[in-house]
Structure 1
Amino acid sequence: MQERNISDIIERYLKEILNDANAVEIKRSEVARRFDCVPSQINYVIKTRFTLPNGYLVESKRGGGGYIRIAKINLVDNTEMFQTLLAYIGEQISTKQAWKIIQGLYDDQILSKREANLILATLDQKTVADDGLRAQILKAILERLKYSN
């Protein structure tokens, strides 16, 4: 039996919860106990896997009654979030960051597999070596998507 990374297991668990609801509130310590890991491991998973480019909005409150709220968002149906995503891109974007955004749009079924692959080929490091030009292209694609859906 193949052993899996604890981060992958925690991510899968949280995504399963999000399949039943568009948002979930968790306590870092409770999830850490469930998976027998340190709370910072939960922070790592949330910071790296539940980001805006991946289609998630995360809020947290620290302290005794603290929580982390993760919400799955549909960027195209939410103009404000779409604007936040465009602002996130800024003047430059790496190939890896662009890939995450396209993956999120594919996961939300905004892009077909073929469309996502064509966009990824367009934004690839081998095609566009300049992060500024990649950002301009990605913004243009997102603006078109925003109004075509």
Structure 2
Amino acid sequence: MQGQNISDIIEEYLKRILADTRQVEIKRSEIAQLFNCVPSQINYVINTRFTIQNGYIVRSKRGGGGYIRIAKVNLINDADVLDDLIDVIGDNISFSQAFQIIQSLFEDSVLTQKEANLILVAIDRRTLDFEDKRVENAIRARILISILNRLKYDG
């Protein structure tokens, strides 16, 4: 584990659990205690590593009996998840966020490696080389949403 930071270690731990089951329910304070870190570190990991773009849905309940439920979803088999993903993309998306989505689709075997690579080339920074990054991110979002809609109806 040399070279790994605490966030990477927590992410690995949760992903190992999710490898055996499609869903895990955790208590933030218990995980923080297990890794001897502050509970906000758990929030950071969940908010940045377990996103819809990465193929996860997170639900939480606050309070004394509160929990955080993380579920690995198959993006293509659930039209509602694809709609949520389209909502997250909105009017613009960075290349790194779009890359996460394409990687999740590839990992879920929705896209072949060749298809994923072709999409990545189409939405790459060098391909969409506009002086105004807002235009670049808007066009990338349109392309990605069109692809997701096609997958949703042709999948």
Shorter chain as denominator, the TM-score bin is over 0.9
Give the aligned CA root-mean-square deviation in angstroms.
1.3
What is the total number of aligned residue pairs between the two structures?
A: 149
Name the amino acid aligned to 1:51.
T
Which residue number corresponds to residue 134 of structure 1? Answer: 140
- Name structure 2 gaps, 5 residues minimum: 130-135
Q: Which whole-Å deviations, capped at 9, do the CAs of 1:55-97 have from their partners, x for residues lacking one? A: 1000111111110000111111001111111121111111111
Amino acid at match of 1:144: R
Q: Report the residue type matching 1:102 in the other structure.
A: I
- Which consecutive aligned stretches of 4+ in structure 1 deviate over 2 angstroms post-superposition? none
Instruction: Give the aligned residue type for 2:71.
Output: A
1:144 equivalenced with 2:140 (yes/no): no
TM, length-normalised to structure 2: 0.91
Equivalent residue, structure 2, for 1:43: 43
By how many angstroms is 1:41 displaced?
Answer: 0.7
User: Tell me, what secondary structure is at the counterpart of 1:17?
Assistant: helix
User: Which stretch has the larger CA shift, 52-61 or 86-95?
Assistant: 86-95
What SS class does the counterpart of residue 77 from structure 2 fall into? Answer: coil
Match of 2:106 in 1: 106
Q: Structure 1 length as normaliser, TM-score?
A: 0.94
Among all aligned residue pairs of Structure 1 and Structure 2, give the percentage whose two residues are the same amino acid.
59
- After superposition, where does 1:7-22 map in structure 2 within 5 Å? 7-22=7-22
More moved, 41-50 vs 103-112: 103-112
